[in-house]
Amino acid sequence: MYPELQDVARQISEAASDRRRFIVALAGPPGAGKSYRSELLSDAITALRPGESVVVPMDGYHFDNAVLEPDDQVPVKGAPHTFDVDGLRVDLERIRRADRTVAVPVFDRPLDLARAGGRLITLGHRIVIVEGNYLLLDEAPWTELHPLFDLTVMLDVADDVLEQRLFERWLDMGQDAAGALEKARHKDMSNARLVKTRSISPDLVWR
pLDDT of residue 2: 47
Buried-exposed string 125-135: b where 16+ CB fall within 10 A, e elsewhere: bbbbbbbbbbb
Comparing 178 with 150, the larger pLDDT belongs to: 150
Comparing 20 with 183, the larger pLDDT belongs to: 20
Task: Choose from 73-77, 84-88, 112-116 the range with maximum mean pLDDT.
Answer: 84-88
pLDDT of residue 85: 98
pLDDT of residue 207: 84
The residue extents of the domains of the chain are: 5-157+200-206
* Average pLDDT for 176-198: 87
How far apart CA 119 and CA 103 sit, in angstroms, is: 6
* Average pLDDT for 93-119: 94
- Mean pLDDT check: name the lowest of 20-24, 116-120, 162-166, 197-201: 162-166
Query: What predicted TM-score, i.e. pTM, was given to this entire model?
Result: 0.92
Position 178 pLDDT exceeds 90: no
Note the CATH architecture for domain 5-157+200-206: 3-Layer(aba) Sandwich (3.40)
Looking at the chain, list the stretches that DSSP marks H as alpha helix, in order from N- to C-terminal side: 5-15, 34-48, 65-68, 85-97, 159-172, 177-183, 189-198
How far apart CA 178 and CA 26 sit, in angstroms, is: 31
Strand pairing partners for 127? 22, 53
Position 1 pLDDT exceeds 80: no
* Average pLDDT for 120-125: 98
